[in-house]
Amino acid sequence: MYTMKDVCLKLNMTYEALRFYCDEGLVPNVKRDKNNWRIFDERDMGWLESLLCLKRCGMSIKDMKEYMDLCLRGISSVGERKAVLARQKQLLLGQMKEIQESIAFIDAKQEFFDDILAGKIQYSSNLRDCE
């Protein structure tokens, strides 16, 4: 069994985030020790790792709750869960494409600036006339 502190250290998350997830009902069946402190088992740890991944994927708390509800339904919801993750993947792929385009733009600008600094080309600007 893990304490809140153990979970935070093991999963590299803040105490506040863990408490928030628990208070929001995103960690079902939270167990308590004799002092009424939350404790977590390996299944809880696996679920929390999943929540952290869904958060990194950009999933909202509302969507995480809906996904959790599907998970709690068991095998009958596997197809729906697969569809939810497929939609999230498509959003991530779109973001990745935008990031790749941004990186390509920065690379082109860096090359442009390198060529100016090396004297290979003359400076030009889209904002003002060059002297």
Structural domains of the chain sorted by starting position, each given as residue range(s) with its CATH number in brackets:
1-56 (1.10.1660.10)
Residue with tokens 């308590």: 32
Q: Give the residue with greater pLDDT, 131 vs 71.
A: 71
What pLDDT sits at residue 130? 74
What pLDDT sits at residue 126? 80
Residue 15 reports pLDDT greater than 90: yes
What pLDDT sits at residue 131? 67
Give the long-range contacts of residues 47-50, CB within 8 A, separation 24 or more.
48/7, 48/11, 48/13, 48/18, 48/21, 49/11
Report the interhelical angle of 42-56 vs 15-23 (nearest 10°): 100
Burial 28-66 (b: 16+ CB within 10 A, else e): eeeeeeeeeebbbeeebeebbeebeebeeeebeeeebee
What pLDDT sits at residue 3? 92
- For the chain, what is the mean pLDDT? 93
Tell me the C-alpha distance between 48 and 21, whole Å. Answer: 9
Tell me the C-alpha distance between 88 and 12, whole Å. Answer: 23
Note the pLDDT tens digit of each residue in 18-74.
999 999 999 998 899 899 999 999 999 999 999 999 999 999 999 999 999 999 999
